[in-house]
Amino acid sequence: MKAARCLDYGPPSGISVVELDDPEPGPGEVVVRVHAAAVNYPDVLIAANRYQVSAPLPFTPGSEFAGVIAALGPGVSGPAVGSPVAGAVLSGAFAGQVVAPVEALRPIPDGLDMVHAAAFHVTYTTAYHALVTVGGATSGEWVAVLGAAGGVGSAVVDVATRLGLHVVAAASSEERLAIARKLGAEAGIDYVREDLKIRIRELTGGAHLVIDPVGGEHAEAALRALRRAGRFVTVGFADGAIPRIPLNLVLLKNLVVRGFEARMIRREDPDATNAAERALAGMVRAGMRPLVSRVHPLSDVAAALTAVAERRTSGKIVLEMADA
């Protein structure tokens, strides 16, 4: 099979496509023939060895995929060979086949093709949990979304709108704000040209909730724009800089600051996981689809990762494995 391969930690330009032997599943594992795999910002961090968990060299990057079951390992009774599934692993998805624990797989929601199924789970479950499980969002509240045209940000705008929240989108250009408005944002803030704190307050009277997948210099401004007893949820640091928040701001306004890390939720809170999957499946049946801005062949993996690393994308980039 063909697979992307990271031989040394570093930038995406060092990743190439090679031929590897087809994998064999171990106990409790399955092999999935990958049809499509989404490119996420953590894939860039893992390739550079800057993620919370290291992938030992050499390795195949890629975490989020959709395909069909090709083989079952010892002790695995299903899903049956040939079943369509989506899943997420730490690494290995940018290849013709991937080995995954059977518990890392889930059925593809009705209505999603392989490309959209690959782009759906990580960002949309992150969006739902950030808003509801962690953020406690309720219909009618104002939520400010940073990086609102990116992979996670666009999903947050989409889900929040469908949950009945009022969304203020913050992004780095008018073109990216236009994308967020198409997903349901009621207002937009270009935080390159406008004062983020002042504009959020003007538009909302103080946001109830902030969802921040970006970090960097804009996090504190968004925190300051919350109303009293507001909630701030951090889900990543696409800016590359981890913000340092003055805790006196949290104390004086009785704010709640929480984080969401997607890898742990299935094990730590299965009830919330099931609730999120039911809710999102219902939204898909109602017509929700992830924003996929570009689809590339596996041979373009370095360019796709570079575009995500440089935040030049909107929504998701997906790699197709037709010839892998």
User: DSSP characters for 225-253?
Assistant: TEEEEEEEEE---TTS------HHHHHHT
Q: pLDDT-derived band of residue 314, with 50, 70 and 90 as boundaries?
A: confident
Q: What is the pLDDT of residues 3-20, one digit of tens each?
A: 999 999 999 999 999 999
Look at 60 and 323; give whichever has higher pLDDT.
60
In percent, how much of the chain has pLDDT > 70? 100
Encode pLDDT of 159-214 as tens digits. Answer: 999 999 999 999 999 999 999 999 999 999 999 999 999 999 999 999 999 999 99
Query: What length is written for the chain?
Result: 324
- CA-based angle 147:215:255, to the nearest 5? 100
Asked whether 68 and 25 are in contact (CB, 8 A), the reply is no
Which residue in 270, 186, 272, 177 sits closest to 280, CA to CA? 272
Residue 160 backbone phi and psi in degrees, to 5: -60, -45
Positive or negative CA dihedral for 64, 66, 70, 74?
positive
Task: Locate all alpha helices (DSSP H) within 254-309, ordered by sequence.
Answer: 265-268, 270-285, 301-309
Kind plus residue range of the DSSP H or E element containing 142: strand 142-146
190 vs 210: CA distance, rounded Å = 16
This prediction has a pTM of 0.90
Phi and psi for 98 in degrees, rounded to 5?
A: -135, 140
Query: What is the band of 63 on the pLDDT scale with cuts at 50, 70, 90?
Result: very high
Give the rounded distance of the alpha carbon of 138 from its chain centre: 22
102: tokens are: 């059977």
